[in-house]
């Protein structure tokens, strides 16, 4: 039971150093390492070369006008221009709409599916695989498939709708609908991960609580509301953090389906930046990436802290 509880907590607070199996050996004063220190060097070198150096180089390049052939230092002009981009406002609004709707839908659907798939139902193992399967498929592949399925005229979905007398909308081509359609596809693809995390959280809740509650005459809803929901909170935190980060940075699915269109209707910050990069504005798009980095950090640090505090308070 305790092992299961640690597992849930660990999944709730990923950034904490892993403890558990080696906990006892480590606490005995002088650390006896299983491997010599230089074993870490290859990983450290890769991290420095492919992550740290480019990250800091990008801070420099964001202050230049960069053609790949030469650079010219222009101070903060790129940042000024980036904030003057007319599609930036749409981009920001869309990014938050997309992040919040996908994250929210994944919490609700993930919890519902998690509860369903931990209860005693027929073909439970099979259904778990079915729910998880879309996670394994390439995002671009999913985008291309849904583009075909949701084609306003030849798509399967609208053909079926037409057969029952409903005039299906242009899912990806209606400016009002495009972003929400992409968000729905994102949820379909990503809900498997949320469900998996919830299943892990749900099976860790001791059955005794439910038994005690039943003895006290609690109904199904009361059990869910008073036992399941609070005790599954760490899993909810993990799902929110992971899906919100994913949602705020999302690009691949949007690019594969609408390309930010029609016009700029489904542009998010990431696609605005990518279009600048495509156009050869390397300094400007690097500045955009620095801003995206700061925005995601500014949103995620408080969210993570809040969720972690609640998990600890409990």
Partner 1 sequence: MKLSSSARGAAATSALAVLALAGCSSAANSNEGTIEIDFLVDNSADTVAAAEALVDAFTEENTDVSVTLETRPPGGEGDNVVKTRLSTDEMADVFIYNTGSLFQALNPDTTLVEMSDQPWAGELDEEFVDTVSTENGMYGNAWGATFGGGILYNRAVYKDLGLEVPESWDEFMANNEAIAAAGITPVIQTYGSTYTSQLFVLGDFGNVQTADPEWADEYTAHHRKYADEPAVDSFRHHQEVYDAGYFNEDFASATDADGARMLAEGEGAHYPMLSNLIAQIEQVAPEAVDDIGFFAIPAEDPANTTATIWQATGIYVPQTTEGRERDAALQLVEFITSDAGCEIQNEHLAAAGPFPGSCELPEGSPAILTDLATYIDEGRSAPALEFVSPIKGPNLEHIMVEVGSGIRSADDAAARYDQDVVNQAQQLGIEGW
Residues that bind partner 1 (CB under 8 A): 65, 67-70, 72, 81, 86-87, 151-153, 170, 172-175, 259-265, 275-281, 284
| Residue with Cβ nearer partner 1 (87 or 223) | 87
| Residue with Cβ nearer partner 1 (200 or 284) | 284
Would you say 303 and 244 are in contact if contact means Cβ atoms under 8 Å apart?
Answer: yes
Would you say 229 and 223 are in contact if contact means Cβ atoms under 8 Å apart?
Answer: no
Segment holding 251, helix H or strand E: none
CB of 283 to partner 1, least distance (A): 8
Spell out the residues 6+ positions from residue 284 whose beta carbon is closer than 8 angstroms to its own: 78, 81, 82, 276
**Cα distance between residue 246 and residue 232, in whole Å:** 21
| Residue with Cβ nearer partner 1 (101 or 173) | 173
CB of 264 to partner 1, least distance (A): 6
| Residue with Cβ nearer partner 1 (11 or 58) | 58
CB of 52 to partner 1, least distance (A): 21
CB of 153 to partner 1, least distance (A): 5
Among 82, 48, 78, which Cα is nearest to 60's? 78
**Cα distance between residue 256 and residue 276, in whole Å:** 17
**Cα distance between residue 42 and residue 56, in whole Å:** 20
| Residue with Cβ nearer partner 1 (15 or 72) | 72
Q: Taking CA 25 as the corner, what is the angle to CA 5 and CA 235, rounded to the nearest 5 degrees?
A: 20
**Cα distance between residue 186 and residue 146, in whole Å:** 11
Residue written as token pair 């659907």: 109
| Residue with Cβ nearer partner 1 (210 or 277) | 277
């Amino acid at each position: 039971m305790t092992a299961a509880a640690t597992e849930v907590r660990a999944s709730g607070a990923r950034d904490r150093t892993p403890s558990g199996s080696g906990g006892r050996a480590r606490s005995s004063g002088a650390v006896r390492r299983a491997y010599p220190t230089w074993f870490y060097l290859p990983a450290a070198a890769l991290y420095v070369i492919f992550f740290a150096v480019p990250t800091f180089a990008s801070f420099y390049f964001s202050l230049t006008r960069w053609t790949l052939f030469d650079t010219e230092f222009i101070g903060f002009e790129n940042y000024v221009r980036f904030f003057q981009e007319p599609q930036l406002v749409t981009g920001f609004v869309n990014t938050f709409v997309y992040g919040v709707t996908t994250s929210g839908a994944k919490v609700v659907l993930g919890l519902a599916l998690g509860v369903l798939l931990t209860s005693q139902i027929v073909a439970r193992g099979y259904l778990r695989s079915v729910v998880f399967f879309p996670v394994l498929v390439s995002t671009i592949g999913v985008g291309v498939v849904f583009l075909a399925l949701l084609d306003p005229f030849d798509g399967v979905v609208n053909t079926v709708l037409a057969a029952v007398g409903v005039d299906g909308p242009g899912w990806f081509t209606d400016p009002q609908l495009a972003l929400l359609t992409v968000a729905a596809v994102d949820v379909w693809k990503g809900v498997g991960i949320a469900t998996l995390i919830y299943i892990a959280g749900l099976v860790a809740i001791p059955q005794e609580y439910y038994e005690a509650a039943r003895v006290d005459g609690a109904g199904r809803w009361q059990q869910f509301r008073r036992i399941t929901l609070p005790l599954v909170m760490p899993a909810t935190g993990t799902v929110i953090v992971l899906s919100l980060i994913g949602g705020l940075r999302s690009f691949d699915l949007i690019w594969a389906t609408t390309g930010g269109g029609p016009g700029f209707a489904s542009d998010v910050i990431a696609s605005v930046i990518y279009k600048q990069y495509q156009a050869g504005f390397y300094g400007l798009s690097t500045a955009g990436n620095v801003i995206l980095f700061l925005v995601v950090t500014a949103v995620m640090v408080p969210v993570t802290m809040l969720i972690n505090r609640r998990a600890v308070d409990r």
